[in-house]
Amino acid sequence: MRQVLRFSFALALLILVARLAIGAPSYPEVIRIGYQKGNSLVILKANGELEKTLAPLHVKVEWHEFAYGPPMIEALAAGDIDLGFVGATPPVFAQAGGAPNLVYVGYAAPYGTNYGVVVPAKSEARTFADLKGQRIAVAKGSAGEYLLLKALENAGLTPADVRITYLQYSEARAAIERGDVAAWVVPDPRLADVETNAGMRAITTAANLPAQYSFYVSPQAFAQKYPAVLRSVLELVDATEHHAQTHIDETAAFLEKDTRVPAAVWQIALKRNPWGVSAPLTPEVIAAQQEVADTFARYHLIPRPVHVADAVVRIPSSVPRPGFGWASSR
């Protein structure tokens, strides 16, 4: 009987330890985060709050800068970074082709007047339909490409009715200033910059089109193994955004130093920036992203249709973290 009791106690202890091990969150030695100049991750990088939060958990933070979304997706697919923030389009291309192992872990509020199609001040185009037959510059695989497709549909046009010219941002600005293209699909702060300093005007914005969200994406293996650290990052980005929203001047001054874009331009961009980071994806957000995927499939711009919900993961509820504040900025 004693042997049976000892065995039962030992078995119960093993089960308890196993349950505790399963329930305790696991943390990586390092989390590598991809960011683009000008978004909220830049502020989080500078203020050091994430490093402070993760230090007691012995997690180091590495930051990697990218010019725009598609190269960041490539880095995620290659395992060079663990978390990135991109527009709606890059994850669709990833799921349809070269990086099906990436998953959505969180999202930001949809674009509004902070993403649009601009024309030079002297352009005779007053509506998007006026661009029929003309060249429009857009970054291939960017959120702007979906915006362009929807703007065409909204105007009763198809991609065949214009001449889509794939250019990166620096190339596109030079092209529109030379007159090589008639219009340019561009987000803030570049949008605010050309409106303020080059007299360009937006003839349509994302606010007039179906909702398009931005997303935090991660390799599936990392998201499944380390969901708690992803939650920590998302909560701190959300806190950063809410702080920035109520401290526009201070945030603009900081971003001017980081990006060399004038604070006056940043003030315009920040005032119309959509704020807030959330997780997990809601049915509404998934449906909006499925429309992005279906649109690209309809125009044969991706090799196969995709089911967005298959790439969505739920990360755990909130974890304790220290208070947020600018006082810790470094």
Which helix H or strand E contains 186, and what residues bound it?
A: strand 183-187
247-253 mean pLDDT: 93
Residue 18 has pLDDT above 60, yes or no: no
185-198 mean pLDDT: 95
Indicate the pTM of the whole model: 0.86
Sheet strands (E) in the chain: 30-35, 60-65, 83-86, 102-108, 115-119, 135-138, 163-166, 183-187, 201-205, 214-219, 277-278
Which helix H or strand E contains 53, and what residues bound it?
A: helix 49-54
For 100-117, the pLDDT digits (tens) are: 799 999 999 999 999 999
Q: Which of 8-17, 81-90, 159-168, 310-319 has the lowest mean pLDDT?
A: 8-17
Residue 229 has pLDDT above 80, yes or no: yes
Q: What average pLDDT does the structure give for the chain?
A: 88
Give the CATH superfamily of 23-110+213-328.
Periplasmic binding protein-like II (3.40.190.10)
Domain extents in the chain: 23-110+213-328, 115-208
Token pair for 322:
């220290």
Query: Which residues on adjacent β-strands are paired with residue 86?
Result: 215
The DSSP secondary-structure symbol of 68 reads S
Asked if residues 166 and 136 have their Cβ atoms less than 8 Å apart, the reply is no
Tell me the CATH number for domain 115-208: 3.40.190.10
Half-sphere exposure of 5 (CA within 13 A, CB side): 2
Phi and psi angles of residue 302, each rounded to the nearest 5 degrees, phi first: -125, 150
Q: CA 8, CA 34: separation in Å to the nearest integer?
A: 50
Which helix H or strand E contains 123, and what residues bound it?
A: none
Residue 157: the pLDDT is 97
Residue 30 has pLDDT above 90, yes or no: yes
Q: 247 falls in which pLDDT band (50, 70, 90)?
A: very high
Residue 86 has pLDDT above 90, yes or no: yes
The answer to whether the 23-110+213-328 and 115-208 domains have the same CATH topology is: yes
Q: How many CB atoms lie within 10 A of CB 57?
A: 13
Token pair for 30:
């390092």
41-60 mean pLDDT: 93
Q: 11 falls in which pLDDT band (50, 70, 90)?
A: very low
Query: Which residues on adjacent β-strands are paired with residue 214?
Result: 108
